[in-house]
């Protein structure tokens, strides 16, 4: 091993949290090293998460649309065929160009990229097993843990990423399954379920709760998207739990029953996607060597400045509290470097948008109706359907709605919930409005270009403090 070199900051993990912090630290003039073990930067998001899934979502949507939605647009197409291998290649090209882009940004910002697995040797030293098998170590005045998360396993099912898969297998299947059962109707289940449903699989989603979409999605919006996904061919079993799995034969069997006990049945599938959530990943990090502990959900415990009980060791991203989202990790990365260099930093956890990239998309920011009710907040609701929006009509893509929740007295926006075309882009306006403490009247009196989908956003705001014009 070479003698330990001292850095201002050592980052363990080169995912969105770690790589953004590294670039920001470089920009602030810190001597910084980032240790990443997977052989590519960008973490879950770029390599096996956000980016590859969105490539497949986009291209499977195009395929599905060309198959089912061209005639009434005046386009006659001939023989349409799926070339899955090429669809996967397109995905790989997007991924590799983006991960290489981060390597370039590291060089540009003087970040040292250490390819290997890091573990705490002591409070200031990280031992690194390099990819070539050799060992080294690096010392840090500050150390940032950004080791991310992994999918939560389902007891009794063995993940082989072929027959019983997580999202990692779901972005890399070599053929379209006949029958796919998705365990967990959250974001991953619905996004990856959509991909394979569009490509021809019979997809059944088994969800423990009474609604799909995972935590945070407004119940009315959830019902709305479920209806549309059902029209696309997806089947749903809500209030249903998987009791037992048998993956010993080629066809996987799942015993399911009503969540509250009762009617049981056995589902069969050639592929089972386990999508019941993700859990923090801190395995083999040597936490025991420095006395750091995780909470009962595996999260590293931190204060409001991201510090562990050892104040020079901080934690951000999926391996600590908060929603497991790339843009949340990115906000924290900037804030944590500001805490280190300037002693202040800020993330508004009340204004972090969520987007589900199905078709139509679902997007929201702020609180939903159930949360407001539980908090005893008096609120008013304004909605506008895309079926009354001119652009959605011309695009022949008008399923969905925009919904505002605002304080009953002050009209301040408390939540925005959208299901509809381009909801993921449109939510940026809702996030900005929330961040600036806008009222629905502020939005409703702002000019929005015609004809755009964004007019539905304006009109839903108008419907909250007064009346919409076109509905
Ligand atoms: P990660 O991205 O998991 O990065 C942690 C990195 O640390 C990994 O590369 C790992 O190899 C490395 N590491 C771990 N331990 C060590 C060690 N000891 N030494 C060296 N390196 C180590 N979020 C969104 O906002 N939008 C989306 O559309 C979206 N889509 C997703 C789709 C899928 C299928 C999945 C699974 C997730 C998706 N997410 C999405 C969530 C997003 O990927 C995560 O929130 C984000 O990656 C978290 O970043 P992170 O840096 O905290 O962790
Ligand atoms: P999730 O928490 O969104 O959904 C898991 C779902 O599984 C929940 O609805 C839960 O009720 C259900 N469930 C749990 N146990 C079950 C069981 N035994 N049987 C049936 N249902 C069960 O988790 P996910 O979809 O796995 O996603 C993991 C993380 O990745 C999330 O934090 C998500 O935010 C993130 N992610 C984000 C995006 C995006 O932003 N577009 C995309 C993919 C993943």
* 184 within ligand 1 shell (Cβ under 6 A): no
* 118 within ligand 1 shell (Cβ under 6 A): yes
Distance from the Cα of residue 242 to its chain's centroid: 24
Which region holds residue 383: left if phi is over 0, alpha if psi is between -120 and 50, else beta? beta
Mean pLDDT, residues 156-172:
97
Give the residues across from 313 on adjacent strands.
143
Question: What does the DSSP assignment read for 79-124?
Answer: -----HHHHHHHHHHHHHHHHHHHHHHHHHTTEEEEEEEEEEEETT
**Can you tell me the distance from the alpha carbon of 158 to that of 144, in angstroms, rounded to the nearest whole number?**
33
Distance in Å, CA 195 to ligand 2 centroid: 16
Known active-site residue 450: yes
Distance in Å, CA 140 to ligand 1 centroid: 23
One of 68, 346, 448, 450 is an active-site residue; which one? Answer: 450
pLDDT score recorded for residue 261: 79
Q: Are 204 and 239 in contact (CB under 8 A)?
A: no
3 state SS of 133: coil
Give the DSSP H/E element, type plus range, for residue 431.
helix 423-435
342's tokens: 């300037």
Mean pLDDT, residues 403-420:
98
**Is the pLDDT assigned to residue 89 strictly greater than 60?**
yes
Q: Residue 451, preceding bond cis, omega within 30 degrees?
A: yes
* 275 within ligand 2 shell (Cβ under 6 A): yes
Q: Are 143 and 286 in contact (CB under 8 A)?
A: no
* 49 within ligand 1 shell (Cβ under 6 A): yes
* 362 within ligand 2 shell (Cβ under 6 A): no
**Can you tell me the distance from the alpha carbon of 128 to that of 37, in angstroms, rounded to the nearest whole number?**
9
Q: Are 381 and 404 in contact (CB under 8 A)?
A: yes
User: What residue spans of 283-399 are helical by DSSP H?
Assistant: 287-290, 326-342, 369-375, 390-394
State the ligand closest to the CA atom of 222: 2
Phi first, then psi: what are they for 253, rounded to 5°?
-110, 135
**Can you tell me the distance from the alpha carbon of 106 to that of 102, in angstroms, rounded to the nearest whole number?**
6
**Is the pLDDT assigned to residue 1 strictly greater than 60?**
no
C-alpha torsion sign, points 217, 223, 227, 230: positive
Distance in Å, CA 152 to ligand 2 centroid: 9
Distance in Å, CA 203 to ligand 2 centroid: 17
DSSP state for residue 7 in the 8-state scheme: E
Q: Which atom of ligand 2 is nearest to the CA of 242?
A: 19
State the ligand closest to the CA atom of 277: 2
pLDDT score recorded for residue 2: 56
Q: Are 411 and 463 in contact (CB under 8 A)?
A: no
Give the number of C-alpha atoms closer than 13 A to the C-alpha of residue 141, restricted to the C-beta side: 8
* 278 within ligand 2 shell (Cβ under 6 A): yes
3 state SS of 302: coil
Distance in Å, CA 404 to ligand 1 centroid: 31
* 209 within ligand 2 shell (Cβ under 6 A): yes
ipTM field: 0.99
| CB-count exposure of residue 147 (10 Å: 0-12, 13-18, 19+) | buried
**Can you tell me the distance from the alpha carbon of 57 to that of 65, in angstroms, rounded to the nearest whole number?**
12
pLDDT score recorded for residue 262: 80
| CB-count exposure of residue 18 (10 Å: 0-12, 13-18, 19+) | buried
* 313 within ligand 1 shell (Cβ under 6 A): no
pLDDT score recorded for residue 111: 98
The neighbour count for residue 226, using CB atoms within 10 Å, is 21
**Can you tell me the distance from the alpha carbon of 48 to that of 56, in angstroms, rounded to the nearest whole number?**
12
pLDDT score recorded for residue 272: 98
Confidence category of residue 3, pLDDT binned at 50, 70, 90: low
Nearest CA to ligand 2 atom 30: 324
Dihedral angle computed from the Cα positions of residues 153, 154, 159 and 164, in that order, rounded to the nearest 10 degrees: -140
* 353 within ligand 1 shell (Cβ under 6 A): no
Distance in Å, CA 357 to ligand 1 centroid: 18
Q: Residue 289, preceding bond cis, omega within 30 degrees?
A: no
**Is the pLDDT assigned to residue 121 strictly greater than 50?**
yes
Q: Which atom of ligand 2 is nearest to the CA of 278?
A: 28
Distance from the Cα of residue 251 to its chain's centroid: 30
Which tens digits make up the pLDDT trace of 168-198? Answer: 999 999 999 999 999 999 999 999 999 999 9
**Can you tell me the distance from the alpha carbon of 352 to that of 363, in angstroms, rounded to the nearest whole number?**
11
pLDDT score recorded for residue 5: 73
Nearest CA to ligand 1 atom 32: 49
3 state SS of 207: coil
Which tens digits make up the pLDDT trace of 226-243? Answer: 999 999 999 999 999 999
pLDDT score recorded for residue 4: 65
**Can you tell me the distance from the alpha carbon of 133 to that of 37, in angstroms, rounded to the nearest whole number?**
12
350's tokens: 């009340």
Phi first, then psi: what are they for 464, rounded to 5°?
-85, -45
Dihedral angle computed from the Cα positions of residues 50, 53, 59 and 63, in that order, rounded to the nearest 10 degrees: -140
State the ligand closest to the CA atom of 152: 2
The neighbour count for residue 135, using CB atoms within 10 Å, is 12
Which tens digits make up the pLDDT trace of 270-311? Answer: 999 999 999 999 999 999 999 999 999 999 999 999 999 999
**Can you tell me the distance from the alpha carbon of 89 to that of 91, in angstroms, rounded to the nearest whole number?**
5
**Can you tell me the distance from the alpha carbon of 443 to that of 401, in angstroms, rounded to the nearest whole number?**
16
State the ligand closest to the CA atom of 11: 1
Give the DSSP H/E element, type plus range, for residue 221.
helix 219-231
Which tens digits make up the pLDDT trace of 131-144? Answer: 999 999 999 999 99
Distance from the first to the final alpha carbon of the chain: 71
DSSP state for residue 3 in the 8-state scheme: P
């Amino acid at each position: 091993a070479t003698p330990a070199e001292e850095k201002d900051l050592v980052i363990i993990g080169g995912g969105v949290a770690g790589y953004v912090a590294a670039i920001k630290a470089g920009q602030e003039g810190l001597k910084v090293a980032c240790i990443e073990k997977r052989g590519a930067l960008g973490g879950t998001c770029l390599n096996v998460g956000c980016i590859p899934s969105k490539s497949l979502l986009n291209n499977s949507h195009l395929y599905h649309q060309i198959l089912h939605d061209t005639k009434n647009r005046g386009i006659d197409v001939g023989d349409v065929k799926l070339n899955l291998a090429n669809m996967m290649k397109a995905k790989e090209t997007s991924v590799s160009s983006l991960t290489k882009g981060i390597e370039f940004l590291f060089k540009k910002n003087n970040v040292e990229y250490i390819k290997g697995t890091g573990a705490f040797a002591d409070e200031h030293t990280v031992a690194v097993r390099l990819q070539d098998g050799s060992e080294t170590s690096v010392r840090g005045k500050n150390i940032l843990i950004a080791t991310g998360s992994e999918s939560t396993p389902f007891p009794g099912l063995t993940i082989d990423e072929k027959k019983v898969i997580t999202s990692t297998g779901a972005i890399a299947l070599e053929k379209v399954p006949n029958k796919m059962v998705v365990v967990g109707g959250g974001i991953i289940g619905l996004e990856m379920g959509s991909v394979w449903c569009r490509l021809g699989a019979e997809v059944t989603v088994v969800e423990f709760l009474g609604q799909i979409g995972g935590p945070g999605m407004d119940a009315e919006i959830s019902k709305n998207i479920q209806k549309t996904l059902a029209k696309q061919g997806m089947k749903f079993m809500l209030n249903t739990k998987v009791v037992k799995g048998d993956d010993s034969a080629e066809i996987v069997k799942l015993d399911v029953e009503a969540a509250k006990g009762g009617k049981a049945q056995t589902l069969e599938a050639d592929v089972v996607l386990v999508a019941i959530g993700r859990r923090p990943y801190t395995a083999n990090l040597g936490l025991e060597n420095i006395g750091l502990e995780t909470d009962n959900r595996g999260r590293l415990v931190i204060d409001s400045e991201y510090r562990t009980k050892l104040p020079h060791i901080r934690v951000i991203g999926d391996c600590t509290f908060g929603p497991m989202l790339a843009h949340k990790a990115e906000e924290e990365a900037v804030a944590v470097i500001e805490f280190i260099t300037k002693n202040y930093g800020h993330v508004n956890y009340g204004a972090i948008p969520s987007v589900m990239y199905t078709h139509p998309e679902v997007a929201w920011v702020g609180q939903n109706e159930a949360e407001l009710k539980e908090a005893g907040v008096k609120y008013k609701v304004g909605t506008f359907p895309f079926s009354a929006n001119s652009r959605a009509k011309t695009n022949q893509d008008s399923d969905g709605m925009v919904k505002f929740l605002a304080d009953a007295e002050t009209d301040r926006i408390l939540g925005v919930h959208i299901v509809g075309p381009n909801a993921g882009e449109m939510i940026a306006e809702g996030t900005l409005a929330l961040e600036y403490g806008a009222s629905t009247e502020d939005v409703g009196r702002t000019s929005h270009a015609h004809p755009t989908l964004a007019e539905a956003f304006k009109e839903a705001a108008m419907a909250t403090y007064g009346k919409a014009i076109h509905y």
